[in-house]
Amino acid sequence: MADRRPITLRVNGQELSGSAEPRMTLADFLRDELGLTGTHLGCEHGVCGACTVLMDGRSVRSCLMFAVQAEGHELTTVEGLAAPDGSLSPLQEAFSTNHALQCGFCTPGFLIAVTEYLAEGAPGVDDEATLRARLSGNLCRCTGYQNIVTAVRDAAERMRRSP
Amino acid sequence: MKPAPFEYERPESLGEAVGLLAEHGEEAKLLAGGQSLVPLLALRLASPSVLIDLNGVRELDHLRLEGDRLAIGAMTRHRDVEEMAELRTRCPMLVEGVSLIGHVTIRNRGTVGGSLAHADPAAEWPSLVLALEGEIDATGPEGVRTIPAEEFFETYFTTALAPDEIVSEVRLRIPESPRVGSCFLELARRHGDFALAGVGALLELDSSGSITDARVTLIGVRDRAVRSSGAESVLVGARPDAEVFAEAAEAIDPEIEPVSDIHGTSEYRRHLAKVLVRRALALATERAGGV
Ligand code: FES
Ligand code: FES
């Protein structure tokens, strides 16, 4: 199965290329071909949300896409959230100060999914049920979610104060 | 958790896609949003030798509301329907039903045509298409064939599509009257899971407050989505009140055949479906400006 296809795409503002068999998922391509191991794989079949990345601004599960399908698209992974000088995004700050992670395995997926939510203006962030429903596509085995909920609220508040 | 090898085709037009499907026949699978198919590939429950990716077929990605007709291209993402501003007030049933599909990340990618062709009996789209008098275009080597929603869904994961046909568009009728109210309610064990049971309801009232048109659809309670003619015939011509809603809920009995599984017994699902019918009718009435 030497049928590898060349793939060129933009990741975190940089044009990158590699090659992959058609059956290689976008997640494996990011990790194994491009060396971007911040995107995690929990279940590899679309249940846990750990592999969430942004494609053209929208969150997608990178284990449910093939790398060949991302050709020519614009991706953001967790490596692209901090500023070039390393300073954290307001959401990353909020996760840190509110202890929204323990082992950190689920964190990249949460950060990406919530980055999309904050970019939409965080509709319903003050309503606990709405917020929890919004977060329900990402599983965390450690935290019990409470600190994640708190961190997302804190991030929305930080962004409201200094947009 | 790695799919078996396959050949990958990426047509850029519907004609090209139909040609590839005819050429590869049963060996091939169409890849739309991939939110159901890719897990099946990863678990190796499916291992087609050719995947025909429809994501490059631009002509299948469109969404237009003209008068009371909503035309949805097969590759339209759930999220695009959910976010269509006009629909929020015009047809809450549609927006609420679509927003119960999986999670945002799944709705960003999953497609309307994929969901219809997959025909999961607990999925929301088939019931929405039944409730809104949908018609589905199937394109094959002979051209386009239009299939009414009532004839499209046959049984578990089985539709009237021929093996060489591709769902290309679905058209719905979105009622325009201010005296129309609708909603979609379902119960799932966890947010984003497939529903134990779900109900879409749409009612139209006349100036005296009587029901002139009614649609009641159910998911998760049979081998396919159900439009309950029993409940609808109780409702049309009646005054919308709790007694009539209860009678309509009882009328679904002969039309559903819920199964028992780890998530709930058949009896529980039957009970739940009736409770949801009553609640959905009350909410639809309120939204139609009735009491
Ligand atoms: S690894 Fe993709 S959803 Fe779990
Ligand atoms: S912090 Fe360990 S899985 Fe979420």
Q: Across the A/B interface, how many CB contacts are shorter than 8 Å?
A: 85
- Say yes or no: B193 and B145 in one domain: no
Contact of A142 with A101, CB cutoff 8 Å: yes
How far the first Cα of chain A sits from its last, in Å, is 50
The verdict on residue B240 lying in a domain is: yes
Domain regions of chain A by residue span: 5-80, 90-161
Q: Average pLDDT of B36-56?
A: 97
**Per-residue pLDDT, B190:** 87
Q: Give the pLDDT band (50/70/90) at residue B220.
A: very high
Residues B63 and B162 in one domain: yes
B263 CA distance to ligand 2 middle (Å):
26
Percent of chain A surpassing pLDDT 90: 96
The string of DSSP letters for B58-87 reads GGG--EEEETTEEEEETT-BHHHHHT-HHH
| Domain count along chain B | 3
pTM, whole model, 2 decimals?
Answer: 0.96
- Please give the residue range of the domain that contains residue B261: 180-287
**Cβ neighbour number for residue A133 with a 10 Å cutoff:** 17
B166 and B63 fall within a common domain: yes
Shared-domain flag, residues B206 and B137: no
Ligand 1 centroid–CA B65 distance in Å is 35
Tell me: do B202 and B135 sit in the same domain: no
B49 and B64 part of one domain: no
CA angle, residues B14, B107, A49, in degrees to nearest 5: 120
Q: Please give, rounded to a whole number of angstroms, the shortest distance from the CA of A92 to a CA of chain B.
A: 20
**Confidence at residue B154, expressed as pLDDT on a 0 to 100 scale:** 97
Q: What is the mean pLDDT of residues B59-77?
A: 97
For A5, the token pair is 């296809």
> Locate tokens 């998760």: which residue?
B220
Q: CB–CB of B104 and A59 under 8 A?
A: yes
Cβ–ligand 2 contact at A145 (below 6 Å):
no
| ipTM, two decimals | 0.96
Residue B2 lies in a domain: no
Kindly state the average pLDDT of the residues B249-272.
96
Sign, Cα dihedral of B108, B110, B111, B115: negative
Residue B125 counted as domain residue: yes
CATH class name, domain A90-161: mainly alpha
Quote the pLDDT of residue B59: 97
Nearest to B284 by CA among B180, B151, B208: B180
Nearest 5°: CA angle at B132, between B85 and B86? Answer: 10
Q: What is the CATH number of the domain that holds B103?
A: 3.30.465.10
How far apart are the C-alpha atoms of B254 and B75, rounded to whole Å?
35
Quick check: CB of A50 below 6 Å from ligand 1? yes
Q: Under a CB-based contact definition with an 8 Å cutoff, are residues B242 and B275 in contact?
A: no
Going by pLDDT thresholds of 50, 70 and 90, the confidence category of residue B290 is: confident
CA of A51 to the centre of ligand 1 (A): 5
Residue ranges of chain B whose CB lies within 8 Å of a chain A CB: 1-8, 10, 34-35, 38-39, 41-43, 51, 53, 55, 79, 102-106, 108-109, 190-192
Residue contact B109–A60, C-beta within 8 A:
yes
Residue with the smallest CA separation from ligand 2 atom 4 is A140
Give the A-side interface with B, CB within 8 Å: 1, 3, 5, 21-23, 25, 28, 43-46, 49, 52, 58-61, 63-66, 68-69, 113, 116-117, 132-134, 136-137
pLDDT of residue B191: 85
Confidence of residue B237 (pLDDT cuts 50, 70, 90): very high
Give the pLDDT of residue B291: 66
Evaluate if residue B114 carries a pLDDT over 90.
yes
Distance A139 CA to ligand 1 centre (A): 10
Say how far apart CA B108 and CA B101 lie, in whole Å. 11
Residue B176: which pLDDT band, with cuts at 50, 70 and 90? confident
Does residue B110 belong to any structural domain of this protein?
yes
pLDDT at A112 over 80: yes
- DSSP for residue B255: G
Stated as kind and residue range, the H or E segment containing B124 is helix B124-131
Taking a C-beta distance cutoff of 8 angstroms, is the pair A51, A62 a contact?
yes
Per CB-CB distance under 8 Å, the chain A contacts of B34 are 64-65
Residue A104 near ligand 2, beta carbon < 6 Å:
yes
The reported pLDDT for the residue numbered A3 is: 86
Residue at a domain's end among B142, B158, B173: B173
Q: Tell me which CATH code domain A5-80 carries.
A: 3.10.20.30
Residue in chain B closest to A22 (alpha carbons) equals B8
Q: Do both B63 and B132 map to the same domain?
A: yes
Look at residue B166 and tell me whether its pLDDT is greater than 60. yes
Q: Domain for residue B1, yes or no?
A: no
Q: Report the C-alpha gap between B80 and B97 in whole angstroms.
A: 13
Q: Report the pLDDT value the prediction gives residue B241, as an integer from 0 to 100.
A: 97
Within this chain, do residues B67 and B162 fall inside the same structural domain, yes or no? yes
Residue A36 · residue A28 · CB < 8 Å: no
Residue B270 corresponds to which amino acid?
R
pLDDT band at A2 (very low <50, low <70, confident <90, very high): low
Whole-number Å distance, alpha carbon A108 to ligand 1 midpoint, is 12
The per-residue pLDDT for range A23-73, each reduced to its tens digit, is 999 999 999 999 999 999 999 999 999 999 999 999 999 999 999 999 999
Residues of B in contact with A133 (CB under 8 A): 191
Question: Does B150 share its domain with B229?
Answer: no
The answer to whether residues B46 and B70 belong to one domain is: no
Residues B128 and B215 in one domain: no
| A chain contacts of residue B35, beta-carbon cutoff 8 Å | 46, 61, 64
